[in-house]
Amino acid sequence: MSSSLRILHLSDTHLFGDQTLHYGLVDTLAATRRVLQSAGRMRDVDVVVASGDLSDDGSPASYRRLREVIEPWAADRGALVVYAMGNHDNREAFEAVLGARNRVLDVHGFRLISLDTSVPGAGYGAVDPGTLDRLAAELAAPAENGTVVVAHHPPVPAGTALLAALELQNADALLRVCAGGDVRAILSGHYHHALATAAAGIPVIVAPGIANTTDVLAPRGRERATMGAGFALVEIPERGSVRTAFVTAPGDDDGREIFDLDEAEVARIAALAGVQPA
């Protein structure tokens, strides 16, 4: 039995089923390959987690392309792959190609639970009551080495005005269920920037985006993104603290601006896809 669980944590690949470029600029398939190449020296990996927004167009072909890139890399290392739904993903296509949207798996005595936090037609997230009930029932019996939850929308506040409109709406409910069980960590994406924090005493790890990087230094009220991709390496021992390292996968166009939205445009997008502040 492994003494720890090592996870390659990827997120927000935003793949297309054809040669379309993300925002007309980013070859997200090439970016995903670059990330896996950067992580190539890792041999002792137990799990590859892809925590949502795997597709941008929701096509079955985009999910097949993802499998064709990730699964050989994982198989070469004897690693399991865990996929999670994001707000850009299509439920029917996801399930047809990648499997169930909510799953429970066991690796080396660690339980991995993927949750669908997507709300059809919305950018914000929520865990529906039935899923919360099933999660609570699953966590009622502890796993040997604890549980890792994978959920695209992080159960922690966002750092930009646009992302704040696209948060997980019932984060408190999810955290209450997780805090009542043996959850060792929650792995998320959605924010497109690296973040390691905690909520309800549980480590929350947000992987960098692969399609682009949120500029956390943008002026308040604006939303800016640049080219850049990376991943997280998460190590969870049988007992003790969770360790996380964030790694950048260098690219020739790193730092090139993709978009810079002013407050009016942020408000317009938030009105279409997000939740308006009270």
The whole-model pTM stands at 0.97
Confidence of residue 148 (pLDDT cuts 50, 70, 90): very high
Q: Would you say residue 5 has pLDDT above 50?
A: yes
DSSP character string of 105-118: EEETTEEEEEE--B
Q: Would you say residue 159 has pLDDT above 60?
A: yes
Domain boundaries, the chain: 4-273
Q: Compute the C-alpha angle 35/148/53, nearest 5°.
A: 45
d(CA 158, CA 161): 8
Q: What is the pLDDT of residue 275?
A: 74
Task: Confirm if 273 and 166 have CB atoms less than 8 A apart.
Answer: yes
Confidence of residue 235 (pLDDT cuts 50, 70, 90): very high
Find the length of the chain: 278
Report the greatest alpha carbon distance in the chain.
54
Confidence of residue 1 (pLDDT cuts 50, 70, 90): very low
Q: What is the pLDDT of residue 2?
A: 52
Confidence of residue 277 (pLDDT cuts 50, 70, 90): low
Query: In sequence order, what are the residues at sequence separation of 6 or more whose Cβ sits closer than 8 angstroms to the Cβ of residue 9?
Result: 49, 51, 187, 205, 207, 231, 232, 233, 234
Q: What is the pLDDT of residue 274?
A: 83
- Report, as an integer, the average pLDDT of 137-147: 97
- Report, as an integer, the average pLDDT of 175-181: 96
DSSP character string of 191-257: SSS-EEEEETTEEEEEPPPSS-EE-TTSPTT-EEEES--EEEEEEEESSS--EEEEEE---TTTT-E
4-273: in CATH 3.60.21.10: yes
Q: Would you say residue 278 has pLDDT above 90?
A: no
